Amino acid sequence: MSNHAGHAEPAHNDEGFIKTYLWSTDHKVIAMQYLFTGMLMAIIGGFTVYVFRMQVAFPGEAVPLFGRVSAGQYNSLVTMHGTIMIFWVAMPVLLAAFGNFLIPLMLGCDDMVFPKVNRLSYQIFLLSAVVLVASFAVQGGAFGGAWTAYPPLSASGEYNLTPYGATLWVVAVALEFVAFLLGGVNFVTTAMNSRAPGMRMFDVPIIVWMIVIASILFMASVGPLIAGAVMLLFDQLLGTGFYDPATGGDPILWQHLFWFFGHPEVYVVMLPAVGIVAEVIAVFSRKKLFGYRTIVYTALATGVISFFVWAHHQFIAGIDPRMASLFSVTTLIISVPIAEMIFVYIATLYGGSITLATPMLWALAFVAEFLIGGVTGIFLGAAGADIYLHDTFFVLAHFHYTFFPIAIISAFAGITFWFPKMFGRMMDERLGKIHFWGTIIAFNVIFIPLFITGVAGDHRRIFDYSGFPDLATPELQYLRIIATVGLLVLLAFQPVFFFNFVRSLVRGAIASPNPWRSNTLEWAAPSPPPHGNFAELPEVYRGPYEYSTEGREEDFWPQHIPGSAPGAGQ
């Protein structure tokens, strides 16, 4: 990296390409490793959805670049799409890439507390990605039992017909969890111990709070699933019967272990996403966040409640029906803090001076689209309505209206916002906006029709509806085709982003240290920050969102600039 060595840890310059970029303990390099791996996996995840949506829209036709899709391949593609997008795109990009890049910079320290653990975390993650991608190539193909991997289907090659793929899937997921446990330890420890002098917990930017809460959620919820995964592996390989009723096991056990992790996991990826959105909205509306503490408390509340909602995935799974009452209540309760968080973001805009730069467009789109995901979730949390809607495309459209804003929209908001800091150059605004509108409009064209097919009874993971007379109607097929066309348009707009990304890396305008006139500490470091981050470690004098403070000439007031002004702030 550059020659402005941070005073804290000077040694790492001139160490050659491998030491600098592949074997580095620098949190920023590790963040980029996670980011690029995540983006690469997103391309694979995008390709899988392209293939299986083409099959749904045009059943039996050869798909360009793939060929005919068999029922088995269809299941593998669906499974891998879900697995990759959640575990190998959302997690590494939102949690690991932004967490690694931002936490030390925003806290004003030179690196993570455990840099070598951090490096190990990425290496294990990379290994997990390799294992997962390799499973496409084994005999029988990649695992085809859905990303939830319910046994007995997942536990026996006789049932799923992808015996090697199933085992590699479990191994890859387990490795991935190890990677994120190591990363999470770092995030939490660093946030607790390495804040700049003067920075109290309530001076910490929201995104850091969110990543720390998400890491704690992850660590607290993943244990049962790791135990479950080991048992699943034993069932697959050693012939044990943890999930096999014939030998006294119970398939429902896995569902409890999986969703006890799986629902907090939704918030593990959601919280960093809303954190990114908070940062961007504050900067581009030149406003103090409306109720900083409210956001922190709602995030904490969401985190706690998220441990008590898991069985809403299992209303009709054969659990005691009386349990549905309890989990319906907790599920609808969790809508309260989430709704409050969204209200807070909307309220922040009031009285602002809003500039619709590309990152802001993404952040506002997050709020607008996530609202759809939120209100449609109410239908599913209500047990009586879930009887009909469960496992239909309504569910699918609902969680894509949450996950797409989380994993894709907020990631684009974050990348376009911090790109100048990451690489020292500005991204092209015009290309950014073309990409934004192409993506957002196409996204809605995909999923609004799928709400309708779901209401009409389309159930999930069906590679050809012609066997179902009530569903094999021209009207429904027409909607399926619209959704697929929307997907093609969405995918067609993504090269615009990659082109913009690469071109800006090479030829973008040189970025000043603080191009967005932002308050948080990462903007006090040079762009891009050298190893060690700050020429001089900053001190903190106020909270992160002192925008448009009365009595100051400038409409921002960075955390590290000493001084006080009449009327407001410290």
Partner 1 sequence: MISWYVTQASSYAADVDRLILLIAIIVAPFFLAAELALFWLIFKFRARPGAQARYITGEKPSERRWVVWPHYLVLVFDIIIVVAALRVWNDVKIDMPPPEEHVRIIAQQWAWTFVHPGPDGQFDTADDISTVDVLNLEVDRIYHYELHSKDVLHSFSVPAFRLKQDAVPGRAIMGWFQPTVTGEFDVQCAEICGIGHGLMAARVRVWSPAAQALWMEAAPRIPQRATVTPAVASTSAQASFAVRASASTPHERVPVNQQGER
Residues 485-524 that bind partner 1 (CB under 8 A): none
Q: Which of 209, 292, 412, 534 binds partner 1 (CB under 8 A)?
A: 292
Q: In terms of CB distance, is 180 or 362 closer to partner 1?
A: 362
User: Does residue 544 belong to the site contacting partner 1 (CB under 8 A)?
Assistant: no
User: Does residue 550 belong to the site contacting partner 1 (CB under 8 A)?
Assistant: yes
User: Does residue 153 belong to the site contacting partner 1 (CB under 8 A)?
Assistant: yes
Distance CA 376, CA 393 (A): 12
What are the distances in angstroms from CA 477 to CA 53, 389, 471, 480? 12, 19, 8, 5
The minimum distance between CB 282 and partner 1, in angstroms, equals 10
The minimum distance between CB 468 and partner 1, in angstroms, equals 5
Distance CA 340, CA 326 (A): 22
Q: Which of 34, 50, 52, 74 binds partner 1 (CB under 8 A)?
A: 74
Q: Which of 268, 364, 440, 446 binds partner 1 (CB under 8 A)?
A: 364
The minimum distance between CB 510 and partner 1, in angstroms, equals 24
Stretch of 232-240, 387-395, 494-502, 513-521 contacting partner 1, by CB under 8 A: 387-395
The minimum distance between CB 100 and partner 1, in angstroms, equals 30
Q: Binding mask 196-235 vs partner 1 (x if CB under 8 A, - otherwise)?
A: ----------------------------------------
Q: Which residues 6+ apart lie within 8 Å of 183 measured at CB?
A: 95, 96, 99, 100, 118, 121, 215
User: Does residue 252 belong to the site contacting partner 1 (CB under 8 A)?
Assistant: yes
The minimum distance between CB 567 and partner 1, in angstroms, equals 8
The minimum distance between CB 151 and partner 1, in angstroms, equals 8
Q: Which of 290, 419, 447, 497 binds partner 1 (CB under 8 A)?
A: 290
What are the distances in angstroms from CA 425 to CA 31, 78, 363, 416? 17, 38, 21, 11
User: Does residue 391 belong to the site contacting partner 1 (CB under 8 A)?
Assistant: yes
Q: In terms of CB distance, is 219 or 349 closer to partner 1?
A: 349
Q: Which of 16, 64, 197, 384 binds partner 1 (CB under 8 A)?
A: 384
**Binding to partner 1 (CB under 8 A): which residues in 155-184?**
158-161
Q: Which residues 6+ apart lie within 8 Å of 270 measured at CB?
A: 402, 406
Stretch of 27-35, 174-182, 302-310, 330-338 contacting partner 1, by CB under 8 A: 330-338
Stretch of 115-123, 154-162, 407-415, 512-520 contacting partner 1, by CB under 8 A: 154-162
Q: In terms of CB distance, is 291 or 513 closer to partner 1?
A: 291
Q: In terms of CB distance, is 321 or 495 closer to partner 1?
A: 321
**Binding to partner 1 (CB under 8 A): which residues in 441-470?**
455-457, 459-465, 467-470
**Residues 211, 275 contacting (CB under 8 angstroms):** yes
User: Does residue 548 belong to the site contacting partner 1 (CB under 8 A)?
Assistant: yes
Of 66, 52, 228, residue with least CA distance to 150: 228
The minimum distance between CB 153 and partner 1, in angstroms, equals 4
Q: Which of 60, 67, 239, 318 binds partner 1 (CB under 8 A)?
A: 318
Q: Which of 5, 226, 371, 481 binds partner 1 (CB under 8 A)?
A: 371
User: Does residue 547 belong to the site contacting partner 1 (CB under 8 A)?
Assistant: yes
**Residues 277, 345 contacting (CB under 8 angstroms):** yes
User: Does residue 368 belong to the site contacting partner 1 (CB under 8 A)?
Assistant: yes
Instruction: Spell out the alpha helix ranges (H) of 108-250.
Output: 115-134, 157-160, 163-193, 206-237
Phi, psi (rounded to 5 degrees) for 179: -60, -45
Distance CA 424, CA 505 (A): 8
User: Does residue 339 belong to the site contacting partner 1 (CB under 8 A)?
Assistant: yes
Q: In terms of CB distance, is 276 or 324 closer to partner 1?
A: 324
User: Does residue 324 belong to the site contacting partner 1 (CB under 8 A)?
Assistant: yes
User: Does residue 322 belong to the site contacting partner 1 (CB under 8 A)?
Assistant: yes
Rg (CA), the chain: 24
User: Does residue 539 belong to the site contacting partner 1 (CB under 8 A)?
Assistant: no
The minimum distance between CB 471 and partner 1, in angstroms, equals 7
Q: How many residues contact partner 1, by CB under 8 A?
A: 101
Q: In terms of CB distance, is 127 or 371 closer to partner 1?
A: 371
Amino acid identity, residue 362? W
Residue 340: CB atoms within 10 Å? 16
423-444 core/surface letters (b: 16 or more CB in 10 A; e: else): bbbbbbeebbebbbebbbebbb
CA angle (31 as vertex; 28, 32 as ends), nearest 5:
90
Q: Is the peptide bond before 528 cis (omega within 30 degrees of 0)?
A: yes
| End-to-end CA separation in angstroms for the chain | 37
User: Does residue 317 belong to the site contacting partner 1 (CB under 8 A)?
Assistant: yes
Tokens of 369: 């689209």
**Residues 204, 183 contacting (CB under 8 angstroms):** no
Which residues pair with residue 510 across a beta bridge? 425
User: Does residue 555 belong to the site contacting partner 1 (CB under 8 A)?
Assistant: yes
Of 71, 228, 88, residue with least CA distance to 149: 228
Amino acid identity, residue 117? V
Tokens of 194: 């390495």
Q: Which residues 6+ apart lie within 8 Å of 214 measured at CB?
A: 95, 267, 268, 269, 271, 272, 303
User: Does residue 49 belong to the site contacting partner 1 (CB under 8 A)?
Assistant: no
The minimum distance between CB 147 and partner 1, in angstroms, equals 10
Q: Which residues 6+ apart lie within 8 Å of 501 measured at CB?
A: 415, 419, 427
User: Does residue 71 belong to the site contacting partner 1 (CB under 8 A)?
Assistant: yes
**Binding to partner 1 (CB under 8 A): which residues in 340-359?**
340, 342-344, 346-356
Q: In terms of CB distance, is 9 or 244 closer to partner 1?
A: 244
Tell me, what DSSP letter sits at residue 239?
A: -
The minimum distance between CB 81 and partner 1, in angstroms, equals 13
Q: In terms of CB distance, is 157 or 223 closer to partner 1?
A: 157
Residue 451 CB-density burial (10 A; 0-12 exposed, 13-18 middle, 19+ buried): buried
